[in-house]
Amino acid sequence: MKLQLALDLVNIPEAIKLIGEVEDSIDIVEIGTPIINSLGHEAVREVKKAYPNLTVLADVKIMDAAGYEVEQSAAAGADIITILAAAEDSSIRGAVEAAKKTGKEILVDMIAIKDIETRAKELDQLGVDYICVHTGYDLQAEGKDSFADLRIIKNVVNNAKTAIAGGIKIDTLPEVIKAQPDLVIVGGGITSKDDKKTAAKEIKALISQG
């Protein structure tokens, strides 16, 4: 299992400083959608320049013109690029094709998908690298989580790796680890802590034991 740090509510200097605190414990750093919406791919470019050996994910949540969007993210230095599961199959294929050409990976975000099982099977056949179950902020506020969805995906996916995101903290990690995703995505469970280095280290240690 790998640990991905999700950065959503910081600017570029803050992101670079924060990554420096937790770099030893994380495998992937995610430049979140709010940062990209605000600052564009410059955020991806600057983080990759500061940490060239760290895997960088651009959470662009592509919905259309997927080949072009993947190329733009790849050119900025992203190693993994996200597309929404709700996108057309032709868009998913375009993203996968563009990613393969540039040696990058595609993570599909299952946010708002109702029939998780069917869509996961379809995505697996389309050649994506990761399928990620994701409880968004609004549903987290209603007390929802992604654990059951993750178990469903794990049962039907043969080729893609699995990921989980949305409100994961140290006290919910045991439930996550039981389901054995390939990638655990943590945001506020690290970034909201005063001692981010220790929080990341504790989460990484638990994941490594799992």
Domains of the chain, first to last:
2-209 (3.20.20.70)
Least confident of 138-142, 181-185, 199-203: 138-142
| CA-closest candidate to residue 183, choices 207, 162, 209, 205 | 162
Condensed to tens digits (0 to 9), the pLDDT of residues 86-101 reads 999 999 999 999 999 9
- Euclidean distance between CA atoms 79 and 125, whole angstroms: 22
CA–CA distance from 85 to each of 43, 57, 109, 113 (Å)? 24, 17, 6, 7
pLDDT in tens, 1-19: 999 999 998 899 999 999 9
pLDDT at 111 over 60: yes
Q: What is the 3-state secondary structure (H, E, C) of 54-105?
A: CEEEEEEEECCCHHHHHHHHHHHCCCEEEEECCCCHHHHHHHHHHHHHHCCE
Contact 169, 201 (CB under 8 A): no
Identify the band that residue 148 occupies on the pLDDT scale cut at 50, 70 and 90: confident
Model pTM score: 0.94
Residue 13, Cβ neighbours under 10 Å: how many? 10
C-alpha torsion 77→133→153→114, nearest 10: -130
Distance CA 186, CA 170 (A): 9
Which single residue is written with the structure tokens 């993750």? 150
Residue with tokens 């050409």: 101
Look at residue 136 and tell me whether its pLDDT is greater than 90: no
Nearest to 127 by CA among 171, 156, 94, 175: 94
In one-letter notation, the amino acid at residue 22 is V
* Cα radius of gyration rounded to whole Å, the chain: 16
